[in-house]
Copies of this chain bind each other. A is one copy, B any other.
Amino acid sequence: MNLLRDLPPGGAGEVTERLAGNGAVRIERIVSRGEASPAGFWYDQDEAEFVLVLSGGARLRFADGEVRALGLGDWVDIAPHRRHRVDWTDLAQPTVWLAVFYGP
């Protein structure tokens, strides 16, 4: 199985698929095609989230002011309840994320 193949078709919006895990961890592929978080929306999650970008590009913004541009190989480990949003994802190509939700 390959994270970069069999991508969901365009027009489906952001698509999340569970790859592996158990009751305590979820490993997911997320494919974005230009989606961003709605204006004023912040993720505020009970779990930690490790994200890694495999293709495309994205920009994460944190409520504490940090901004992270992400491309191939870039990863961020987001602590529980560290508020963040997806400011931007690439419009020209799919952005493929590996996400691991775990904890707290």
Contacts and interface: CB of A to CB of B under 8 A. Distances in A.
Contacts of A21: 102
Given A19-B50, A20-B48, A3 B75 contact: yes
A75 to B, nearest CB: 6
B27 A50 contact: yes
B20 A74 contact: no
Contacts of A74: 1-3
Interface centre among A24, A76, A77, A102 (most CB of B within 10 A): A102
Contact of A75 (B19, B22, B75, B77): B19
Interface of A: 1-5, 19-22, 24-25, 27, 48, 50, 52, 54, 72-77, 96, 98, 100, 102-104
